[in-house]
Amino acid sequence: FVVGCTSNEPEEEDQPAAAETGGGDDGDGGSGNDEPGETVVIGFSGPEADHGWLAAVNDSAIAEAESYEDVELRTAEGTNDANLQISQIETFINEGVDAIVLLPTDGAQLTEVAIRAMEAGIPVVNVDREFSSPFAARATILGDNHGMGISAGTYACQLIEENGIADPVIAEIAGIDSLPLTQDRSRGFAEALEACGQEVDNRVAAEFTVESGEEQAANLLQAAPQIDIIWNHDDDQGVGVKQAFDNAGRDEFFFIGGAGSANAMQWIQDGEMEATILYPPTQAADGIRLARLIAQNKGMSDLVQVEVPRRIVLNAPVVNADNVEDYLHLGFES
């Protein structure tokens, strides 16, 4: 379930955003959690915001922090170098911040330093890419990458069945191949396909950039003269992927996306895309909220539980023409 997703529009930040799905309709508005408490310093470090989704992650985190007058945010933004990110966390430890929100370039690689922060008495909220040790984070908010792959694969199976495609050709355009999250997505996709007796016929990996998406998609189209279903992991690179389809004049397949950018939602509305699997960029914003609560020793008012939970996994729902209206506001600019 999605907890306290916020919109990207800064002007809406002042009002407490409603939990979108699952949770109670009145959100956390009823509790005293949004009342200003003692000022807390939160350190936030994320990977290099080199594409739309990550930029949205950073922006929404910063906007979220700005919406609280009792939060002072220190950002150490922007690196794909674990060594540098470790040193950024060390800086936070030196400064003695009250909590750290960490979206690591790689969960395992930042575990050592996160443990050190925890040992120094600074609670760490782990976002999106999970640490390899349970002692490294006070709370963990995860997008469900494996679930994303499952959703995409299941949806693909559904399409095959509904349209009665015999011997379908299934293609996959992955993101940066060496990231665990990409592998999780691909694994989920393969598992779900296996459930309906299918497998990926052609796979390429792009780099989350428009250019690489276009390049790899063009190569993919060349490699497979006829395709029935394509799953593209990431709607940012999807802009390029889509352009490659247009360039080649190919649209014989069902095109499924990932993440849920504004563009993707638009295409779904226009009928140019079948569906996209949501992967909200608001996790870090949620992380800021949790960090604030933890630092101020508060709990989550929607839960009976007194304290903030240790682990929250976000849902990865499928957005298609039937429900796109409900998700439009979540779409981020890629």
Closer residue to another protein, CB minimum distance, 223 or 303: 223
Shortest reach from residue 288's CB to another protein, in Å: 15
Shortest reach from residue 200's CB to another protein, in Å: 10
Shortest reach from residue 98's CB to another protein, in Å: 15
Shortest reach from residue 51's CB to another protein, in Å: 6
Alpha helices (H) along 143-179: 145-163
Closer residue to another protein, CB minimum distance, 79 or 315: 79
Shortest reach from residue 247's CB to another protein, in Å: 6
Closer residue to another protein, CB minimum distance, 225 or 271: 225
**CA 9, CA 11: separation in Å to the nearest integer?**
6
Give the binding site for another protein (CB under 8 A): 48-52, 55, 74-84, 86-88, 90-91, 94-95, 105-112, 132, 177-180, 183, 202-205, 207-216, 218-220, 222-223, 225, 236, 239-240, 243, 246-247, 263, 333-334
Work out whether the CA dihedral 77, 85, 83, 129 comes out positive or negative.
negative
* 313: its two tokens: 């996994």
**CA 107, CA 82: separation in Å to the nearest integer?**
10
DSSP E strands in 199-287: the ranges are 202-205, 229-232, 254-259, 275-278
**CA 290, CA 301: separation in Å to the nearest integer?**
12
Q: Which residues pair with 125 in a beta bridge?
A: 101, 139
- To 10 degrees, what angle do helices 111-119 and 82-95 make? 10
Closer residue to another protein, CB minimum distance, 111 or 296: 111
Shortest reach from residue 103's CB to another protein, in Å: 14
Q: Is 53:274 a contact under the CB 8 Å cutoff? A: no
Q: Which of 167, 129, 125 has its CA nearest to residue 146?
A: 129
**CA 288, CA 84: separation in Å to the nearest integer?**
22
**CA 59, CA 132: separation in Å to the nearest integer?**
27
Q: Is 132:76 a contact under the CB 8 Å cutoff? A: no
Shortest reach from residue 32's CB to another protein, in Å: 30
Closer residue to another protein, CB minimum distance, 86 or 308: 86
Please report, for residues 28, 30, 72, 101, 146, the alpha-carbon distance to residue 14 in angstroms, rounded to integers and kept in the order given: 14, 15, 16, 21, 34
Bridge pairing between strands 275-278 and 318-320: antiparallel
Shortest reach from residue 156's CB to another protein, in Å: 19
Closer residue to another protein, CB minimum distance, 17 or 55: 55
Shortest reach from residue 276's CB to another protein, in Å: 16
Closer residue to another protein, CB minimum distance, 55 or 190: 55
Closer residue to another protein, CB minimum distance, 101 or 179: 179
Q: What is the maximal distance between C-alpha atoms in the chain?
A: 63
Closer residue to another protein, CB minimum distance, 114 or 157: 114
* 317: its two tokens: 């729902």
